[in-house]
Structure 1
Amino acid sequence: DVAKLKETLTAIETDDSGIERVFAAVIASVEEFQNYRRPDPRTREPRRNVMLIVLSDEAGDDVAQADEAVKLCRRNEVPVFVIGVPAPFGRQETYVKYVDPDPQFDQTPQRAIVHQGPETLYPERIRLRFSGSRDFDDVPIDSGFGPYALTRLCYESGGIYFTVHPDRNLQRAVKWGETSESAAYFKYFFDPEVMKRYRPDYVSTEEYQRRIKSSRLRTALVRAAQMSWVASMENPHLRFVKRSDAELAQELTEAQKIAAKVEPPIQMIYQTLQLGESDRQREYSPRWQAGFDLAMGRTLATKVRTEAYNVMLAQAKQGMAFKDGKNNTWVLRPSDDASDAGSLLKNLSDKAREYLNRVIDEHPGTPWSMLAAAELKDPLGWKWAETFTDLDPPAQGGGNNNNNPAPPPRDDQLQMLQRRPTRPIPRL
């Protein structure tokens, strides 16, 4: 009865708390209707078939009850079908385009944080920022799967998790302005057919932990992914004017402090991942292969860029002669060749490319491949170039030179009066 179904759904009251106890709701529903699954004394068959259909736009705030929900559904043979959102790749939170539902308030779209991931029980993506554009750090991308606990509930109960998104586009990037109201923003989506072979392990928490502990590779990746965000060098100093030997040396020393601050946490991630390298050839799961190779490749690339920067500055402090006597400025430029920083870093740069290219070659059309390609866009090494800087440039004119007067300032106070009031974004 479609009309009755619509009436029932419309009658559901809005909960402004923002807390979603989806697993508690599943448990309560199965307990209420499990009598229908008891055998009929005459036929010895269950009296009715029962299924649950869940509509949810988040991962649920009571994930701790997922194991209980799975056991109850399996014991009573009640499949669960969820119509829900895709999880962001390797992240717990993403944001939706929120517009205040009351037209009396400002209708400007805002970014509201929501809990829709991750797609795995534990994060498997290291939190290492890109050295160039931070686009992939701050912009969520589709994981190809739903939130882990809800998807596992469907999988283990014999149901299906249907990922639904109004802006899904497999052909190009999606802009924030194209995102539908109340929908989560994903810049990139991936073909479900391609992602099938990368399905996470939908097993109990105990079994998931056992599988991780049985593999040094998986243990290393999960531990590395749980570390705090590590920033790469942000806006490193690349131009050094030689006014005197002492001033140049001081400027180079100050620049080295940027690398010195970043190197220890990068080294910690690298050492953690190294513990899993010996199990790389034994790993059979495409998902874990792609995750580990991407993590190791990105960590090595960031390590080489950072340490090579430090080495090049140290070389300059030892003294370098300009080829052209009129030049007075050293410029450090990115280079695809890291050999100027020494054979050790050159070998590590080759190893980084090997890992990243393997991800691209073996896992095309996946989030891992996209991130590996983004990492390779930034050169791993550095080279010195020389140029001239005018130390006594002509003064800039400051007069008005009879130009037209500047327009009067806008009446900001009037603009504020015309604006609708704003209010805090509620918990969604």
Structure 2
Amino acid sequence: MEQNSQSKTARVPMKAPSNRDGASSAVADEELNEDALADQASADDDAEYEEYEEAVRPMTLRRWLEQGGSFGSSVLVHMLLFLLMGYISVGPSEEELLLDLDRIRIETPPVSQEEPLQAVDFNQQVQSQAQQTSATFASQNNLGEGGEIGMGMGLPSVSLDPKILSSKPAGGSVSVDRLTLDMPSANVIAMGVPDGAFGDPHAVVENYDQAFDRITEELLFMLSEQEVLVIWIFDQSESMKDDQQMIRERIETVYAELGVVGEGRNARLTTAVASFGASYYLHTKKPTADVNEIKAAIDQVPIDPSGEEMMCQAIGRSIDTHAKLAAAQDRKIALIVVTDESGNRQNNDQYLEQALAYAKASKSRIYVLGREAVFGYPYAHQRWRHPQTKHVHWIKIDRGPETALVENLQTDGFRKRYDAHPAGFGPYEQCRLAKETGGIFFMLPGIEVDIVRGDDREYALEAIRPYKPDLRSRAEVITAMQGKPLQQVLTKIVQDLNPYREGAAKIMEARMLFSPRVDQLGVQMAQELEKARIFLTYLDAAAKTLEQAKVLRHDSDRRRQANYDLMYAQVLAYTARRYEYIAACDHFVRNPPEAPPMEKPGFLRFEGWRVHGNKELLAPDVTQSYVDRSTEMFNQIIAEHPGSPWAARAEWELSRGFGITVKAGGYDYYGPDRNPFTGPKIPVPKL
């Protein structure tokens, strides 16, 4: 499976980001395992490099300072030195600091104002379940402003493009439906209630073969009780085409092992095939036992360029579509989802519990062939080199988190996170669906080729068992949090330090590439100083709050303790690094290096001055205590939480070092197109 997984995503090998020759490596010093600072700039290279496209005067920095006029150079140097020296030596005043827990407070989410869901006539036993589900729905939606209590990502609302909804893949006959869900229909409700048995939300497999063996066993058990309808639901992402073909070729073997090949119209096992992206496709007119028809239906699964995966809606729609027929034929439903993403964030927030209600009311079991979630983060990023322009893009994909609410910092101290550290568990929604319906979440192994900062680390089940996520509904998790003050503190800090929150990124995210033009460089450094002042003020307040909350740690479970330990260590480490960032700017102004030639033959232009990690501290009188304390805490995490994602993250933080330096960057190419192409430009894919 690992070999297939690599071929699946290895579109084009990555070299240097952007269209540059001779650019400096993202890793500034070989002794650092990873320079998380400079490399991150490549993630949004197109936007950041645009401001440097204008012509640059071929003059070195030192020459500009010496010859650019006494007044201008004096003002620039003295202004920067005044701000830098004063801030490093003094720091924010006591009046500016946020000293107590009252400032970092938890606001109870407002009660949903959603209209009561329409009642349906059905037997009393099912009615009781539906009422319970309705209460869950009412508290599930609109839990907080801007999504801060839910995923905390503050993403825009999703609307379905009518063009996408009306599109049809080439070949075959399919039906395309707008994805809308309400309460389970009468078709679903009439089928009764599940027996309440929980499934397995954490089945680690080495490849698809192992997963199919387990699925075969599950289907055999179901067939021993009654006939079965299997619904395969495929993710329409381009990255899933190889997986779909692998499953297509394995289908016949599975049916042969089940002994149902050639049973004809009255087959004990029938199959339907559907797929989802921004819309829902049903590829089988009616469930079939014909293996060739099943293979042909899988071949019809299109590639959706929208990048949307309305997974939860598709699950509910699939069950509702087939529930009446399954009931009439007295069949159980086994629904198998095949995807390498966790689904659209807002869609999951809104429709997870509704999809689960459909499954429970119809006694459907949900099986998911999925991927490991990113540790405490909703996204991974995949490198993709444009086949025409040769530019490298980092494409965001939904891949987590493993919990109902984001529990870890979404920043690395300078930017949004771009790592893909494994969580040890699958995405929350998929694991919850499998567990609550008596199904299985199969966690396929390995990290795909071209995943940015992927870590192909495997955790021992026994090591991470004490840290298993709470798979109750988000509404239940939020309600339970009201009695857990430590979780409230951690959640609030995660929300406040969320770089996806509107306005937060402007303060939190530090510039990693400074202009080659000294007049612009001075303005940029002054702006970074003001941002650092505000950000450091909050980090200081967060550290004080975490110290006060230390008394709550002892009575918390292992997962909460690990979250607290890691967050506290990170806050101290990020404080040290941001002070060192200021010190690096100070050192740069005090000791301006000889700038490289602004231009080189071959249409190459100096890109500017890059920020790199460095082991040497430039302001040890201020930062050494932060470094020592955070280093001690990271090492303690490694010792107290061995073999866990928290220990792995602590190791990574230590490997980054704490010092910062500013060095000459590489060169951008600005001449005639070196990769001319004919025809329309291929759009950057959305995975």
TM score, norm. by length of structure 2: 0.42
**Contact 2:342/2:399 (<8 A) preserved:** yes
Q: Which residue of 2 aligns with 1:127?
A: 410
Residues 2-24 of structure 1: CA distance to partner in whole angstroms, max 9, x if unpaired? Answer: 43332221123443433322211
Q: Which residue of 1 aligns with 2:38?
A: none
Q: SS of the counterpart of 1:217?
A: helix
Report whether the alignment pairs 1:69 with 2:69.
no
State the shift of 1:201 in Å.
0.7
Q: Which residue of 2 aligns with 1:400?
A: none
Of 538, 545, 549 in structure 2, the residue corresponding to residue 276 of structure 1 is 549
Letter paired with 1:93? Y
**Contact 1:93/1:113 (<8 A) preserved:** yes
> In structure 1, how many angstroms separate the alpha carbons of the residues matched to 2:399 and 2:578?
34
> In structure 1, how many angstroms separate the alpha carbons of the residues matched to 2:301 and 2:656?
52
Residues 113-149 of structure 1: CA distance to partner in whole angstroms, max 9, x if unpaired? Answer: 2222222222111134358xx8x94232222222211
Identity over the aligned pairs, expressed in percent? Answer: 24
Of 39, 56, 73 in structure 1, the residue corresponding to residue 339 of structure 2 is 56
Q: What does 1:404-415 correspond to in 2, within 5 Å?
A: 413=672, 415=674
Of 540, 551, 558 in structure 2, the residue corresponding to residue 267 of structure 1 is 540
Letter paired with 2:313? A
Q: Which residue of 2 aligns with 1:139?
A: 419
Gaps of 5+ in 1: 41-45, 236-252, 312-331, 383-409
Q: Which residue of 2 aligns with 1:213?
A: 482
> In structure 1, how many angstroms separate the alpha carbons of the residues matched to 2:683 and 2:361?
44
Q: SS of the counterpart of 1:187?
A: coil
Q: Which residue of 2 aligns with 1:24?
A: 313
State the shift of 1:231 in Å.
4.9
Decide whether aligned partners of structure 1 residues 336 and 210 sit closer, same or farther in structure 2, where only a CA change above 3 A counts: farther
State the shift of 1:305 in Å.
6.0
**Contact 2:408/2:567 (<8 A) preserved:** yes
Decide whether aligned partners of structure 1 residues 96 and 354 sit closer, same or farther in structure 2, where only a CA change above 3 A counts: closer
Of 370, 392, 400 in structure 2, the residue corresponding to residue 117 of structure 1 is 400
Q: What does 1:176-215 correspond to in 2, within 5 Å?
A: 178-179=449-450, 184-185=451-452, 187-194=454-461, 195-215=464-484
> In structure 1, how many angstroms separate the alpha carbons of the residues matched to 2:308 and 2:528?
47
Q: Which residue of 1 aligns with 2:174?
A: none
Report whether the alignment pairs 1:95 with 2:410.
no
Report whether the alignment pairs 1:154 with 2:437.
no
**Contact 2:389/2:675 (<8 A) preserved:** no
TM score, norm. by length of structure 1: 0.65
Decide whether aligned partners of structure 1 residues 33 and 89 sit closer, same or farther in structure 2, where only a CA change above 3 A counts: same
Letter paired with 2:676? L
Of 366, 372, 378 in structure 1, the residue corresponding to residue 644 of structure 2 is 366
> In structure 2, how many angstroms separate the alpha carbons of the residues matched to 1:12 and 1:333?
51
Decide whether aligned partners of structure 1 residues 293 and 22 sit closer, same or farther in structure 2, where only a CA change above 3 A counts: same
Letter paired with 1:34? A
> In structure 2, how many angstroms separate the alpha carbons of the residues matched to 1:18 and 1:374?
30
> In structure 2, how many angstroms separate the alpha carbons of the residues matched to 1:72 and 1:254?
53
State the shift of 1:29 in Å.
2.2
User: Paired residues, what number?
Assistant: 339
Letter paired with 2:380? T
Report whether the alignment pairs 1:225 with 2:508.
no
State the shift of 1:363 in Å.
1.7
> In structure 1, how many angstroms separate the alpha carbons of the residues matched to 2:359 and 2:538?
44
The alignment's C-alpha RMSD in Å is 4.4
Q: Which residue of 1 aligns with 2:634?
A: 356
State the shift of 1:58 in Å.
2.2
> In structure 2, how many angstroms separate the alpha carbons of the residues matched to 1:28 and 1:271?
49
Residues 307-346 of structure 1: CA distance to partner in whole angstroms, max 9, x if unpaired? Answer: 79999xxxxxxxxxxxxxxxxxxxx9946997x559xx84
Decide whether aligned partners of structure 1 residues 55 and 99 sit closer, same or farther in structure 2, where only a CA change above 3 A counts: farther
Q: SS of the counterpart of 1:112?
A: strand
**Contact 1:98/1:110 (<8 A) preserved:** yes
State the shift of 1:31 in Å.
2.3
Decide whether aligned partners of structure 1 residues 349 and 153 sit closer, same or farther in structure 2, where only a CA change above 3 A counts: same
Residues 378-403 of structure 1: CA distance to partner in whole angstroms, max 9, x if unpaired? Answer: 67799xxxxxxxxxxxxxxxxxxxxx
Letter paired with 1:26? I
Letter paired with 1:365? G
**Contact 1:293/1:359 (<8 A) preserved:** yes
> In structure 1, how many angstroms separate the alpha carbons of the residues matched to 2:392 and 2:295?
29
> In structure 1, how many angstroms separate the alpha carbons of the residues matched to 2:528 and 2:389?
45
Q: Which residue of 2 aligns with 1:293?
A: 565
**Contact 1:232/1:262 (<8 A) preserved:** no
> In structure 2, how many angstroms separate the alpha carbons of the residues matched to 1:232 and 1:380?
17
Of 140, 158, 164 in structure 1, the residue corresponding to residue 444 of structure 2 is 164
Report whether the alignment pairs 1:424 with 2:686.
no
Letter paired with 1:83? L
Q: SS of the counterpart of 1:282?
A: coil
Q: SS of the counterpart of 2:674?
A: helix
**Contact 2:380/2:418 (<8 A) preserved:** no
> In structure 2, how many angstroms separate the alpha carbons of the residues matched to 1:54 and 1:148?
14
Decide whether aligned partners of structure 1 residues 126 and 47 sit closer, same or farther in structure 2, where only a CA change above 3 A counts: same
Q: Which residue of 1 aligns with 2:299?
A: 10
State the shift of 1:158 in Å.
1.4
Letter paired with 1:69? A
> In structure 2, how many angstroms separate the alpha carbons of the residues matched to 1:381 and 1:423?
41
Structure number with the bigger relative contact order (C-alpha 8 A, sep ≥ 6) is: 2
Letter paired with 2:550? E
Decide whether aligned partners of structure 1 residues 418 and 50 sit closer, same or farther in structure 2, where only a CA change above 3 A counts: closer
